Structure 1
Amino acid sequence: MKNVASFSGGRSSAYMVYQLMHSHPDTDFIFMDTGAEHPKTYEFIKNIVEHWRIKLTCLRVVVNPELGQANSYREITLDELTQDLQPFRDVCYKYGLPYLGGAFCTRTMKLEPFTRYCNDKYGKNNYQTWLGIRADEPRRLKPTEGYKYLADISDFDKRDIINWWRNQPFDLDIPEHLGNCVFCIKKSISKIALATRDEKKMAEDFINLIDDPNVRVVEREQQANKIMYRGGNSLISIVALYQNRSRDDILATIRGGGGYDSGSCSESCELFSCQLDLDLNAGDFL
């Protein structure tokens, strides 16, 4: 079985890469680019390749705009990693906006092209996928044939990971409320509100994407009203909801309300942890 690591761009996932370099030196490393990662995520990834001298395969989904037709993938270089939102835009043109009850974004931009690439390169069922899920994330540790986790080779919890990175020559310099995917639909609305304050240009670009007339409108209330987040909120409604609250006030609601819980999908968007009910053995992806 070939060992293949799905590297999400997060600290835990990167620590898994470091461990696999030494425990399983035959491992291939793959990063799935959504075009919507924080710029510092891309900087972090490039530092890993430079400092650890690993070969990293970077893939992007290639969306077939025709409904019912399967999508594909293409390999890109490190220099092509950029927050241009293109894969996310293409996915929204075809399927509409992702929302809390329909988190197809991870499946479409990460799981499906990753699986297609690995099946093409290694052969179906001839590889084992590693995910950077820690021992202190029990809800995300779902025993699944063909998958292994960071928790299988390290007992490090979140605090251990943070402390380990403090001793390295580089780190992922992103506040937790931002995460790699800044406006992830799995985040609390207070985290989203704070993200719109801290990354105003990113918020503007994301709102422009959401308002793009080419985004498919599905016959669902969520799609028609651009509802993507908890409590029936859109990105615009979250901005309005918090417009009279200071940044410090919003931050206090996150800290006081358990907004920094370990194991959040928005911490690190792994291959299938955002949708544990997904049938990983499905043969066809449309």
Structure 2
Amino acid sequence: MKRVFNLSGGKTSAYMTIAEKPDPNDIVLFTDTGREHPLTYKFLDDIEKHEGFKIHRATYIHHRSPGKTGFDALTSWKRFLPNRARRICTVELKIRVARRYLRPLIGTKFEQFIGFRYDEPNRVKNYRQTYKHTITRFPLYEQGVTKEMVNDYWQNKPYTLEIPPILGNCDLCFLKGKNSIIKIMAQYPELADKWIEDERRANAGRDRRIGNFFPDITYAELLEMALAQQKDFDLEAALPAYSCTCA
């Protein structure tokens, strides 16, 4: 049976993939939302260069959003933006993109590998309950690999992901929570532009609160708060407010 390694662009899934030694018959898949930090893409390039295997890269496109891809394509035609209650971004940009990409290559029967660690038992449990009919392995969980072990591994490599963990996945994802988003914006205010534009476009000609990522505040307001504080936050210690299954 074909093996598919889900590579999110982070250190943990990269560790898992490298440790499992994918061969040319396997597929290492990165589903690109288009909202990753630029250094995530550099990390993927470095993996291919140093480890010698190909990373398949798939992204979302839609006929209603010609010329756009990923998150930009999705939010350009949807009547509402993703939020905690309606996680359409995970379904559309990750799950369905992966299925559409894999189907013509290997069909619908394959063994997939996901990089949930031993110290993430709830993620493993939730995934198994939600996707009961998939053939899925969690080698890091099975082998007792923890976050500390993953970090130790990357300290001894000639390359690594050069951003704090909080900047992984979509750079200003609403699941990171308002406090973490403010901390990120304080150091990288330029990241806010595309998220502010999403809300502006979604709310054009409507009540200002319709279609925002948060029900009670806009990304423009979060940016104002971040710039007003003018603090150098420790992003290495920042944690997301909610669990993210996008990986």
Unaligned runs of 5+ in 2: none
Deviation of 1:49 (Å): 0.3
Unaligned runs of 5+ in 1: 67-83, 271-286
Kept after mapping to 2: 8 A contact 1:132/1:150? yes
Deviations 1:115-159 (A, max 9, x none): 1222222122x2112111111112211323322224355321111
Is 1:121 the equivalent of 2:105?
Answer: yes
Is 1:30 the equivalent of 2:29?
Answer: yes
Distance 1:216 1:241, change over 3 A: closer
Is 1:234 the equivalent of 2:218?
Answer: yes
| TM-score in terms of structure 1 length | 0.73
Partner of 2:239 in structure 1? 260
Deviations 1:66-106 (A, max 9, x none): 9xxxxxxxxxxxxxxxxx98421110122231112111111
Partner of 1:167 in structure 2? 156
Partner of 1:9 in structure 2? 9
Name the one with the larger helix percent. Answer: 2
Kept after mapping to 2: 8 A contact 1:40/1:173? yes
Deviation of 1:113 (Å): 1.3
Partners in 1 of 2:203 and 2:101 — Cα distance? 27
Structural mapping, 1:52-67, within 5 Å: 52-65=51-64
Q: What letter matches 1:102 in structure 2?
A: R
Higher alpha-carbon deviation: 32-41 or 130-139: 130-139
1:65 is paired with a residue whose SS is coil
Deviation of 1:204 (Å): 2.0
Distance 1:64 1:203, change over 3 A: same
Q: Among residues 207, 231, 246, which one is paired with 2:196 in the alignment?
A: 207
Deviation of 1:167 (Å): 0.3
Kept after mapping to 1: 8 A contact 2:28/2:55? yes
Distance 1:146 1:107, change over 3 A: same
Aligned length in residues: 238
| TM-score in terms of structure 2 length | 0.84
2:175 is paired with a residue whose SS is coil
Kept after mapping to 2: 8 A contact 1:103/1:185? no
1:244 is paired with a residue whose SS is helix
Deviations 1:180-202 (A, max 9, x none): 32111211211100111222222
Q: Percent identity?
A: 25
Q: What letter matches 1:59 in structure 2?
A: A
Deviations 1:189-244 (A, max 9, x none): 111001112222221233224323xx488x9x8x9434313x73321232234453
Q: Among residues 117, 120, 126, which one is paired with 1:137 in the alignment?
A: 120
Is 1:108 the equivalent of 2:92?
Answer: yes
